[in-house]
């Protein structure tokens, strides 16, 4: 299997799908001549030309809105929002139009589109370029929400997202772009709605998303030295959420810790914890803990940003806490 970065895997997915389906177009700010601020769409303009790879003005409502309109008329747009933090100027077209059209029209519409965006802290990009907002998208019936953690998942999930006939929000953590890993060549999909056990364990389930998956894997390695066997489960898609896989793991370990980078309050972890507290309450031997960002905007200064991002140490402490109770 070839080795490539997360960004290259996403690039590969774009190219393969665009070759397969002429109805796919890519649009967004700086996706063409620049190749994407993080390089994800590099080379697409040369390969597919300006009809299919469209640099846009700074106009997110129109980027997303034209995608919705075009999708309802037969195209399959893959549009980039650059930073997910910019969703505030384009959200209506996503949640009131793309997500609801099919339902409002009694089934008479189909909106096959992907909205890609980068998320997450770690490079000092501060409060308006570092957020994790997946919980918002999860709360919208009609959307799907994808958040990969490895190059292979990124490629397989993006291809699935592009082939899906529903609007999909595809969130790429910016600290992952340079991550290398083996990625199956050619046509290869990871189904939406299927979690992945990134490490098997029997004492405690740690559910982690995106960049936090790697924090969890590293914590699990250290905890194994203390004799604690951690199962790391990566939902990969937050909607559909693979509840069965989560419940199965918790029924085995009887303990659950959730880690994600978004602020804890009303974050994705709340839904997962609540779901387990409803459906596997009797199998739990300890409180469900969430390790997540504190309730503050993302700070700029490196020591503050470092403290903001949920750390391995905090996760280890949480795991030990649930092991002790």
Partner 1 sequence: MDISKEKMVEMYTIMSRIRMFELRVSELFAAGKIPGFVHLYAGEEAIATGVCANLLGSDYITSTHRGHGHLIAKGGEIQFMMAEVLGKKTGYCKGKGGSMHIADVALGILGANGIVGAGPPLAAGAALACQYQDKGAIAVCFFGDGASNQGTTHEAMNLATCWKLPVVFIAENNMYGISSCTLNSMCVPNIADRASAYDMPGVVVDGNDVMAVFEASGEAIKRARQGQGPSLIECKTYRHRGHFEGDPCAYRRKEELEEWKEKDPIPRFEQKLVALGVMSAEQVREIQDTLKKQLEEAERFAEESPFPDVSELMSDVYTA
Ligand X SMILES: Cc1ncc(C[n+]2csc(CCOP(=O)(O)OP(=O)(O)O)c2C)c(N)n1
Which positions lie near a second copy, rule CB under 8 A? 61, 85-96, 99-100, 103-104, 126-128, 133, 135-136, 138-139, 141-142, 239, 241, 262-263, 265-271, 273-279, 281-282, 284, 286-290, 295-297, 299, 325
Sites for ligand X among residues 285-324 (CB under 6 A) = none
Contact 24, 1 (CB under 8 A): no
Output the smallest distance, CB 187 to ligand X, in A. Answer: 33
Cα(214)–Cα(119) distance, integer angstroms: 16
Q: Can you give 295-309 as a three-state secondary structure string?
A: CCCCCCCHHHHHHHC
Find the shortest distance in angstroms from Cβ 133 to ligand X. Answer: 14
Which of 137-145, 179-187, 216-224, 252-260 is the region at the interface with partner 1 (rule: CB under 8 A)?
A: 137-145
Picking from 269, 272, 212, 214, the residue whose alpha carbon sits closest to that of residue 242 is: 272
Nearest partner of 158 among 272, 2, 26, judged by Cα: 26
Can you tell me the distance from the alpha carbon of 53 to that of 224, in angstroms, rounded to the nearest whole number?
48
Taking only Cα atoms into account, the Rg of the chain, rounded to an integer number of angstroms, comes to 19
Q: How far is the CB of 290 from a second copy (least distance, A)?
A: 6
Kindly list the catalytic residues.
Answer: 129
Residues numbered 49-88 forming contacts with ligand X, rule: CB under 6 A:
58, 60, 82, 86
Residues 253 and 204: beta-carbon distance below 8 Å: yes
Find the binder of partner 1 among 39, 42, 54, 311 (CB under 8 A).
Answer: 54
- Considering only residues 23 to 42 of the shown chain, the ones binding ligand X according to CB under 6 A are 29
Residue 53, helix vs strand vs coil: strand
Q: Shortest approach of a second copy to residue 140 CB, angstroms?
A: 8
Using CB under 6 A, list all residues that contact ligand X. 29, 58, 60, 82, 86, 89
């Amino acid at each position: 299997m070839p080795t490539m970065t997360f960004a290259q895997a996403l690039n590969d997915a774009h190219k393969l799908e665009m070759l397969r389906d002429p109805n796919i177009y890519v649009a967004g700010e700086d996706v063409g001549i620049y190749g994407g601020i993080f390089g994800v769409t590099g080379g697409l303009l040369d390969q597919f030309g300006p009809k299919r790879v469209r640099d846009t003005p700074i106009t997110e409502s129109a980027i997303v809105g034209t995608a919705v309109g075009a999708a309802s008329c037969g195209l399959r747009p893959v549009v980039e929002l650059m930073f997910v933090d910019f969703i505030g100027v384009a959200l209506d077209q996503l949640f009131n139009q793309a997500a609801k059209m099919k339902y409002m029209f009694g089934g008479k519409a189909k909106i096959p589109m992907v909205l890609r965006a980068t998320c997450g802290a770690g490079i000092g990009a501060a409060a308006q370029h570092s957020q994790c907002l997946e919980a918002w998208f999860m709360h919208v019936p009609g959307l799907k929400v994808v958040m990969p953690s490895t190059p292979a998942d990124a490629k397989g999930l993006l291809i699935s997202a592009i082939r899906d006939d529903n609007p999909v929000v595809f969130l790429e953590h910016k600290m992952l772009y340079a991550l290398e890993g083996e990625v199956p060549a050619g046509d290869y999909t990871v189904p939406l709605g299927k979690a992945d056990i990134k490490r098997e364990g029997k004492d405690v389930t740690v559910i982690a998303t995106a960049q936090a998956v790697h924090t969890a894997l590293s914590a699990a390695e250290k905890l194994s030295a203390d004799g604690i066997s951690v199962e790391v489960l990566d939902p990969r898609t937050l909607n559909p959420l693979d509840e069965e896989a989560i419940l199965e793991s918790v029924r085995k370990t009887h303990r659950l810790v959730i880690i994600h980078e978004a602020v804890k309050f009303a974050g994705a972890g709340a839904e997962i914890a609540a779901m387990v507290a409803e459906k596997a309450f009797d199998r739990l031997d300890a409180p469900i803990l969430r390790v997540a960002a504190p309730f503050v905007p993302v700070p700029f200064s490196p020591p503050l940003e470092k403290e903001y991002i949920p750390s391995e140490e905090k996760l280890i402490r949480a795991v030990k806490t649930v092991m002790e109770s």
